[in-house]
């Protein structure tokens, strides 16, 4: 009797687990606005990786443009925490990042030069 219960529980966990991971992954997808008002990005799956594409840039902003893409390899650590690496082809720049999502708010921290130079940016889902 216990073996049957264990088997049923194992099957239930196997069915539910992919759904839980998928739901957590989806939380980063969508459109986000930078808290400083400079940019809006769309985060989506692109091949085996993830992409953050600029869909709006503040007028007359020189360092970013619509269509710029950041290509990311992401490890989901659970509970809205993602760690990974990213490549910015516009600047030929590689960086490590941490992405944290809580509801409709996201914080990103990107670092270059082995973590010596880092920048943290707040985002809100739009």
Domain count, the chain: 1
pLDDT in tens, 83-112: 999 999 999 999 999 999 999 999 999 999
Per-residue pLDDT of the chain (126 residues; tens, 9 = 90+): 443 333 333 333 333 333 333 444 447 999 999 999 999 999 999 999 999 999 999 999 988 999 999 999 999 999 899 999 999 999 999 999 999 999 999 999 999 988 889 999 999 999
DSSP state of 104: T
- Residue 99: the pLDDT is 95
- Residue 44: the pLDDT is 96
CATH of residue 77's domain is 2.40.128.520
Is the separation of the CB atoms in 108 and 123 below 8 Å?
yes
Q: How many alpha carbons lie under 13 Å from residue 11 in its C-beta half-sphere?
A: 6
Q: Alpha-carbon distance 77 to 60, whole Å? A: 37
Distances from the Cα of 91 to the Cα of 30, 38, 63, 70, 87, angstroms: 24, 18, 10, 10, 9
Q: What is the mean pLDDT of the chain?
A: 83
> Which segments of the chain are extended strands (E)?
30-34, 39-46, 49-57, 69-78, 81-88, 93-102, 105-112, 117-125
For residue 82, the enclosing domain spans 2-125
pTM for the predicted model, two decimal places: 0.76
Q: Alpha-carbon distance 83 to 121, whole Å? A: 15
């Amino acid at each position: 009797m216990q073996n049957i219960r264990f088997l049923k529980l194992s099957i239930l966990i196997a069915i539910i687990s992919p759904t839980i991971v998928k739901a957590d992954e989806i939380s980063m997808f969508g459109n986000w606005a930078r808290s400083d008002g400079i940019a809006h990005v769309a985060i989506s799956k692109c091949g085996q990786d993830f992409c953050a594409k600029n869909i709006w840039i503040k007028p007359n902003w020189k360092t970013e443009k619509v269509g710029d893409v950041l290509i990311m390899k992401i490890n989901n650590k659970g509970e809205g925490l993602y760690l990974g690496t990213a490549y910015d082809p516009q600047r030929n720049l590689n960086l490590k990042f941490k992405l944290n999502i809580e509801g409709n708010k996201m914080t990103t921290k990107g670092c270059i030069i082995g973590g010596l130079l880092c920048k943290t940016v707040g985002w809100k889902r739009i």
